[in-house]
Structures are given as structure tokens and as C-alpha cells.
Amino acid sequence: MTSFAIAVTGVVLLVSSCTASGEPVSAGRTSAASAPAQLWPDRKRASQPEPGRGEDLPAAVPGVPRVPSGDIRKANLLTVVRAQVAAGSAFDGEPLFDADTTRKIDACASEPAHCPVWTPQYRDLTGDGEVDLIVGIETPDDSLALWVFKLNDGVVTWIMDAGSAVGSVEIANGDLILREPTGTPGYEMRTVYGWDARKQTMALRAMEFDQADSAAPAPKRTP
């Protein structure tokens, strides 16, 4: 009986006491996890918003010649942009941009210094080994329309439509990251889009507040 009591006592001391040799010690009682408690459960929920252009993707861009080579860099940038502006306006029933921005887009070839279309970027966002076309269009209110296009059997296809305040745009591990200023000093909004193979679009992955990176370079805006 005495040896059994000593053994039990030794176990208790091993678990609950701290020793100089760095043995593990108990952190105390852990609070029990609880399920979320919904406040005002009887309140009527908001209705689902009407689908916008983002829910209508992917969509072939009408009026753009096919690209048999499979290299989207062979597609004329301004042809793609103008065709998408026309197609998007037809979808919404009203112009995508204000009259001045639309005029500047139409005049990009003859007035490049005033062109709101940023330098096109070509990166593989879909993981198929082929580059995709990333287009940024700046408007007078300092907002940015960000579009992404890929080729589907030679057809230029719209796979992303996003808008944000002009901040920075980054690529990381195939994700497209938008950073835009907020009303909170030292913080910015970080929005991440990534390829969704099931939907065949660039889908929203995350949206969060993040510490502002003052060292982030401004996007190139050369037409």
C-alpha cells in the first residue's frame, strides 16, 4: 500500500509542479469553447444583392479578333479595352466610365499623354503556363478599374472585374493583391484575388485591413 501511494504522489508531482530541469508544467484550467451566439435572431435578414458584372464572368469579349498563336500579347491592347468598355456598357445599360474618361480611352492612340489606360501587364495568374493580360484604367476620381483577360482557345476572355481607390497593385504566388488607402492612419485595405479553376475566374480570396507599406512602389502609368 505504501509503495502504491508513493507512486501516485510521484505522478501528481510530475504533472503539477515545476522542476529545475525544464519539465512541462500545467498552464491551469482552460475555458470551455462555446458556439457563436446570434444577436437579434428574429430580425429579418437583408436580401441577396442583384448579381453584377463580376458574377457574369467569364465572358468572351465581343469584337476582338481571335489569337490563334495562343499568346495574348498578340492581341491589340486598345482593341480589347474599347471592346470591353462597349460590352460592359451594354451589360449595365449605361456607360462604364464618365464621358471624359471614355473620350480619353478612344483617343489613346493619338493622345497617349492623356490616356487613362496604364501600361499592360502580362503575368500567368491561372497557372496554365500562359501569360494573362492585366489592365488598369484610372478615372478622374482617383479610382482604378482593374480587368484581367485570358485566352480560351484563342478567344480573349474577361475573367476579372474589380475596382478600388488608386493605391498599389501586386502579384504574389499567382494572386493579385490590391492595396488602397483608408481613413485610418497607418492602415490600408488589402484585397486578394486568386484563380478559381471551378468558376474559371479570378475570385475574391480575402479582404482585410493591413498596416500600410510606405515603401510600396506606385504602379507604372505609362500608356
Q: What's the total number of domains in the chain?
A: 1
Cα gap 64→68, rounded to integer Å = 12
Choose among 136, 128, 11: nearest CA to 70. 128
Maximal C-alpha separation, the chain: 101
Domain range for 58 is 53-165
Condensed to tens digits (0 to 9), the pLDDT of residues 102-145 reads 999 999 999 999 999 999 999 999 999 999 999 999 998 889 99
Contacts of residue 206, Cβ cutoff 8 Å, sequence gap at least 6 = 190, 191, 192
Q: Per the domain annotation, does 101 fall within a domain? A: yes
Q: Per the domain annotation, does 209 fall within a domain? A: no
Q: Per the domain annotation, does 98 fall within a domain? A: yes
Choose among 206, 210, 202: nearest CA to 191. 206
Q: Per the domain annotation, does 75 fall within a domain? A: yes
Q: Per the domain annotation, does 20 fall within a domain? A: no
Q: How many other β-carbons are positioned within 10 Å of the β-carbon of residue 63?
A: 13
Q: Per the domain annotation, does 34 fall within a domain? A: no
Q: Per the domain annotation, does 196 fall within a domain? A: no
Cα gap 158→220, rounded to integer Å = 22
Q: Does residue 8 surpass a pLDDT of 90?
A: no
Q: Per the domain annotation, does 134 fall within a domain? A: yes
Condensed to tens digits (0 to 9), the pLDDT of residues 62-80 reads 999 999 999 999 999 999 9
Confidence tier at 209 by pLDDT (50, 70, 90): confident
